Structure 1
Amino acid sequence: MTPCPSIGSNLEKSETPHQTPGTAGITCGQLESEGTAYLDGRNPSCLDQVILIDWYGADDPANPMNWSTWKKCRVHSTLYYVAASVYMSASIFSAAQTEVEQAFGVSPTVSSLGLALYVLAYGIGPMVFSPPSELPSVGRNIPYLISMGIFIIISIPTALAGNIESLLVLRFLQGFFGSPILATGGASLSDVSSNEFKPYALFMLAMFSLGGPALGTTIAGFSVPVLGWRWSLWVILLMGGPGFIFLLFLPETSAANILHRRAARLQALASKGVFVSKLEQNHDQITMINRLYKSLIVPWKLNVLDPSIAFTSIYCGLVYAIYYSFFEFFPLIYGDIYGMNLGQIGLVFLSVLIAVAIAFIPFGLFIRYVNNSENRGRPISPEGRLPPAMLASLLVPAGVFIFAWTARPDIHWIVPTLGTMLVSGNVVVVIQTIYVYITLAYPNYVASLFSGNGLIRSALAFAGVLWAHPLYNSMGVALGMTIIGCCCALCIIGIFYLYFYGARLRALSRFT
């Protein structure tokens, strides 16, 4: 690969390519303003060569990393809003479950499938939608728009469902088609965020992802008693519609797709030569079958063959299951024990937002410490990123025990709520810290790790929703939640073991 000589004028800003006597299209001198050009071969003529298109330079304005602050804010706000609305669509159903039971004559466990299947589906969806989003010719926005459009359309028959079977199937499809923004939203944020700012951006995404369900429960709590259970499903349409419109104006953030379109514009202007983006040349060596294999098979291999990865997936799934089980426990605890109505229960759930905001303060300070250490030439090992999760692993079971042992009529409702806040705020810290850890510890398998972790997390959350009612009815809240808290307490051993011996385990792993 040798650089193209004689670089000169700007092709893309002119309506027609500059013509050089004796040529029938673009000349070598017209390439540099379209990116760094290279020739495949030793022939110095650019006209008959494969020309690789790259960025103009470090300050290329088309590079998402160089976009203006306003443009980056558009990306962030759009992704935060859409993620919150999709997650809200999961929990908003929980306030309607009692009326669904009465309308269709089903048990509480069957009605809870409306939430459980939605959560399971948005763990399955990324296995299908994530691979195409990595293709240079597709990018991130097309999967967003197609899936979100179907999500909006499906929301109409869901709200009009005439029987429990169709309602549950449509709820599963809602979660499935709402999943791309949840799966690759973090990738889009990473496209426009520096390494220093990226942890903050991803924590904000997690904050909106947990805030959405809390807000959905509040909205449904006040609207369902007045307007009926179907109104909770119409709210999904009202919230998702603006999100789809925002996505129409979302700038494409995939560097591979931006360069692919730049090469296509050059190709249209030139009569000779083959223009290929530099990133696309690497992507073209990977077939869709390989991508699906990495998405559907490799995540399971990683979790089966590497104990460290298996533990991080199960632990994330367990704390996520506890969080989603609260949507089932809250009406039982605050309704049956404290006599609150659905609206008041929804207001209590807003404590999740406060908890996550408080948790961000120490987590943000730790990120700042890591960034400062990196800038001074003292890199932090993957295990060195685990202290926030180590502290959070102690606080999550503490919060579960507080909730379990104080949810009774003779103790004020604020006390179990403080336990809920301890759990929800530290669930975010655990998941975010583990995501950073596996990204750094297994850099060659990041996409597969996220897919596998997301699926296991959703599967355990699915179970968490379903176990809530039987657990409460058979054991009571104190004993039932104590068992769950003990499971979390056991995971403290795992997270501390990773901190002290993770490097040794990685050295023995076939995936590092």
Structure 2
Amino acid sequence: MTILNAIRDSPAGQLVRLLRPELLPYPEEQDFPQKDLYKDAELIAEKSEPSSTPSEATITPHSDDERRHTDIEAGIPEKFEENHEASPTIREDGTIICDWYSASDSDNPENWSSRKKLWVVACICYCSFVVYMSAPVWTPGEEQFMEVFGTNYAYTALGLALFVFGYGVGPLLFAPLSEIASVGRNIPYITTFVLYMLVTIPTALVRNAPAFMFFRFLQGFFGSPILATGGASLADVYDSTYLPCAMTGWAFACFVAPVIGQIIAGAAIPHLGWRFTIWEILIASAPVLVMFLFLPETSPATILHHRAHRLRKALGSDNIRSASEMEQHGLSIRTVVIDSLVKPMEITLLDPAVLFANVYMSLIYSIYYSFFEAYPLVFPSSYGFNLLQEGLAFLPIAIGTILSFLLYNSYLVFYRIPKVKAGTPTKPEDLLLPGLVSCFFPPIGLLIFGWTSRPDIHWIVPMIGTALFPLGVFIVYQYAASLFAASDFTRCTFALAAVLFSRPMYTYLGMGKACTLLAGLMIGCIFGLFALHHYGPRLRQRSKFGKK
């Protein structure tokens, strides 16, 4: 695969094609080898009697058995079958279905080169890093914000809470759009991220607190598509064997981003003020926009949708359609809403496994974001930390994430992937095996953090407690992070509430009792995790949704 082909599939390449399409041509715009196959299909389609109602039955110009027999007679070994050109499928109504030209079609995202796939991972991870960093990055400046606008702690906490809620609401709109073949992944990514950057400017310049809170919500709202469908983009380019490895990279970026944001903000605020934390978001966002210009479209449905358009133009035929075009033809807004929003909510409420995963993830989100309210109550008052030192106190969360990342990838590389390659039957619950051990760390870490956050105990001890939290929840995150948009909304709604009630909870109960309460909830989820691993196959077999 040439560099020009990689550029051609990106927004930058499409801009070049608008001016000089001959510089970056597609095979369909040249004398491509599959042209004769589609011409034959067109002749067969013209002879087919169109039915009044489209049928699912199909006709192919050449059967696989006939092709295999011809190849054997010609002396071509069967091992090259993956390079055989696939015959177009013709429906009984005469529609020719545009599909991949062969199993090794270079336009199929799963067949892209490793470097091109890693570029997609890098774009998704860095954009997610920026958005997750942006949520709590301004919290070290809350004291200054309260002095300027005369707000209290509860009101000021809305700056974080509404941002989190915004990237829970956004997927309800943007996730369904990315599944429409004519739209794809890149259009929502780029459009919303440009709006995200534009909204950041008035957020930094605003002169009253209500306007600031409104723009913070819009920041989260427009930053949400990458968080909602980033996992889908990775699933487009990796098969089920290597997808968990790619997902760990994405989750790693999401977990460490707030830590880096806190350190940078802690260093900058004493000298540049709280508004600079918002400008930091804009500075960090600039590379994302450049990367997105060279991010290839990953949705197979969208790639085939555009291929079908080029084939219709090249062959002068209106009969060629992609499968997604046929499925989504005449799709009403009501159907889109039901399939993308109502149905996931129905699955969440009626499928026990999905419901538990949502509850567990919501609890993880809530506790994670409550740390940004707990730290200012512990390290400045008990240990005399300044803003930079308080930001550095978040480093153990990154260290715990790194350890979990390394351990989980070791499990994947040395145990699960060899089993999958060997053809050994596996089930989704196998991904939870490391989690059955690591799930004990979060409640232990919470207890250590809560009961050792005292001036008479060295500050390293509560930090060790915070390091144990991501060491356990990071693995569970792999299993449940990308269920669907309704899950994002549920998790972020819980996180919104957690940000608002965590400071009063820590203040009135005390750090020890409050963390004991949270640890108790995490212990309850341990039983659910073991039950999910043990009864998961049975639950999936009985689920009416799993059969569809």
Letter in 1 for 2:159: G
Question: 1-side partners of 2:85 and 2:213: how far apart?
Answer: 51
Tell me if structure 2 keeps the 8 A contact 1:386–1:434.
no
Moved more, 312-321 or 362-371: 362-371
Question: 2-side partners of 1:295 and 1:30: how far apart?
Answer: 35
Q: Give the 3 Å change call, closer, same or farther, for CA 268–238 of structure 1 in structure 2.
A: same
1:28 aligns with 2:73: no
- How far residue 224 of structure 1 moved from its aligned partner, in angstroms, is 1.0
The structure 1 residue matched to 2:354, chosen from 292, 295, 309, is: 309
Q: Which residue of 2 aligns with 1:361?
A: 406
Question: 2-side partners of 1:196 and 1:70: how far apart?
Answer: 18
3-state DSSP class of the match of 2:97? strand
Question: 2-side partners of 1:285 and 1:381: how far apart?
Answer: 37
- How far residue 36 of structure 1 moved from its aligned partner, in angstroms, is 4.0
Q: Which residue of 2 aligns with 1:231?
A: 276
Tell me if structure 2 keeps the 8 A contact 1:36–1:53.
no
1:467 aligns with 2:512: no
3-state DSSP class of the match of 1:196? coil
1:12 aligns with 2:29: yes
1:208 aligns with 2:263: no
Tell me if structure 2 keeps the 8 A contact 1:389–1:434.
no
Write the deviation string for residues 407-433 of structure 1: whole angstroms up to 9, x where unpaired. 111111111111101102322112213
Q: Give the 3 Å change call, closer, same or farther, for CA 506–252 of structure 1 in structure 2.
A: closer
The structure 1 residue matched to 2:190, chosen from 127, 130, 145, is: 145
Tell me if structure 1 keeps the 8 A contact 2:188–2:225.
yes
1:293 aligns with 2:335: no
Tell me if structure 1 keeps the 8 A contact 2:440–2:472.
no
1:269 aligns with 2:286: no
- How far residue 358 of structure 1 moved from its aligned partner, in angstroms, is 0.5
- How far residue 285 of structure 1 moved from its aligned partner, in angstroms, is 6.9
Q: Give the 3 Å change call, closer, same or farther, for CA 34–130 of structure 1 in structure 2.
A: farther
Structure 2 counterparts to residues 97-108 of structure 1, below 5 A: 97-108=142-153
Question: 2-side partners of 1:455 and 1:362: how far apart?
Answer: 30
1:337 aligns with 2:388: no
Letter in 2 for 1:486: G
Question: 1-side partners of 2:191 and 2:498: how far apart?
Answer: 30
Tell me if structure 2 keeps the 8 A contact 1:388–1:433.
no
Q: Which residue of 1 aligns with 2:99?
A: 54
Q: TM-score, normalised by structure 1?
A: 0.88
Q: Which residue of 1 aligns with 2:54?
A: none
- How far residue 495 of structure 1 moved from its aligned partner, in angstroms, is 1.1
Q: Which residue of 2 aligns with 1:372?
A: 418
Letter in 1 for 2:90: L
3-state DSSP class of the match of 2:296? coil
For structure 1, list consecutive stretches of 5 or more residues without a partner in the other structure: 1-9, 21-25, 43-48, 436-446
Tell me if structure 1 keeps the 8 A contact 2:95–2:319.
yes
The structure 1 residue matched to 2:439, chosen from 385, 393, 396, is: 393
- How far residue 475 of structure 1 moved from its aligned partner, in angstroms, is 1.6
Write the deviation string for residues 11-57 of structure 1: whole angstroms up to 9, x where unpaired. 53249x99x9xxxxx84389999974233349xxxxxx422211110
Q: Which residue of 1 aligns with 2:476?
A: 430
Question: 2-side partners of 1:193 and 1:472: how far apart?
Answer: 43
Q: Which residue of 2 aligns with 1:477?
A: 511
Tell me if structure 1 keeps the 8 A contact 2:41–2:96.
no
Question: 1-side partners of 2:511 and 2:310: how far apart?
Answer: 63
3-state DSSP class of the match of 1:52? strand
3-state DSSP class of the match of 2:484? helix
Tell me if structure 2 keeps the 8 A contact 1:337–1:408.
yes
1:322 aligns with 2:367: yes
- How far residue 93 of structure 1 moved from its aligned partner, in angstroms, is 1.6
The structure 2 residue matched to 1:89, chosen from 128, 134, 144, is: 134
Q: Give the 3 Å change call, closer, same or farther, for CA 150–450 of structure 1 in structure 2.
A: same
3-state DSSP class of the match of 1:218? helix
Moved more, 414-423 or 49-58: 49-58
1:133 aligns with 2:178: yes
Write the deviation string for residues 227-286 of structure 1: whole angstroms up to 9, x where unpaired. 111110111111112212211221111111111111111222233342212343234375
Letter in 2 for 1:474: Y
Write the deviation string for residues 319-349 of structure 1: whole angstroms up to 9, x where unpaired. 1211111111112211111111111111221
Structure 2 counterparts to residues 36-75 of structure 1, below 5 A: 36-41=87-92, 49-75=94-120
Question: 1-side partners of 2:305 and 2:144: how far apart?
Answer: 51
Write the deviation string for residues 63-107 of structure 1: whole angstroms up to 9, x where unpaired. 111222222222111111111001111010211111111111111
Aligned-residue CA RMSD (Å): 2.4
Question: 2-side partners of 1:455 and 1:426: how far apart?
Answer: 23
3-state DSSP class of the match of 1:58? coil
